[in-house]
Amino acid sequence: MRSFLPYHSPVGTLWVMENGQAITEIRKSETPPAIGIQQETQLLQMAVQQLQAYFAGKRKVFSLPLAPKGTPFQKRVWRTLLQIPYGETRSYGQIAQAVGNPKACRAVGMANHRNPILLVVPCHRVIGKNGSLTGYGGGLKTKAYLLQLEQGDRKGILYGNF
């Protein structure tokens, strides 16, 4: 059975979803998921607590069972994203190189775009090769906010609460 909980974060409402064994999705939306039951499970409570600690600057690594749905290539990209340390970034080219296909920058970008578990699978840490902020499913303002948060720039966060 699919369960979900909302978490009202500094970047907007995040819907945390699980399948009874693992987190399957964290998405930013003002509307609840169409499928599943809103209920507090132990796993969802743990995920929300870890998100709260992350936004408070007290958690740098998430410790949750994850079960994102995607193609084998997407899952390889997402596993690689999990290796990017808190407060650091990588380019799409670096991720393509790390997954063993240096010419797959666009495919890496598409896998990032399809990442179903925002924040925990840190696609926000992937930037353009020239250092520019490029597309992000949660929006570029959110991406900038998250990168500034992770770099310890608590006073200089540009966008505050959304």
Cα distance between residue 55 and residue 40, in whole Å: 20
Query: Which one, of 3, 1, 9, 4, lies nearest residue 119 by Cα?
Result: 9
One-letter amino acid at 31 equals T
For 49, the 3-state DSSP assignment is helix
Choice among 123, 146, 147, 149 that is catalytic: 123
Look at the block and give the residue holding tokens 């978490």: 7
Cα distance between residue 47 and residue 127, in whole Å: 26
* Residue 123 annotated as catalytic: yes
Cα distance between residue 109 and residue 96, in whole Å: 9
As annotated, the active-site residues are 123
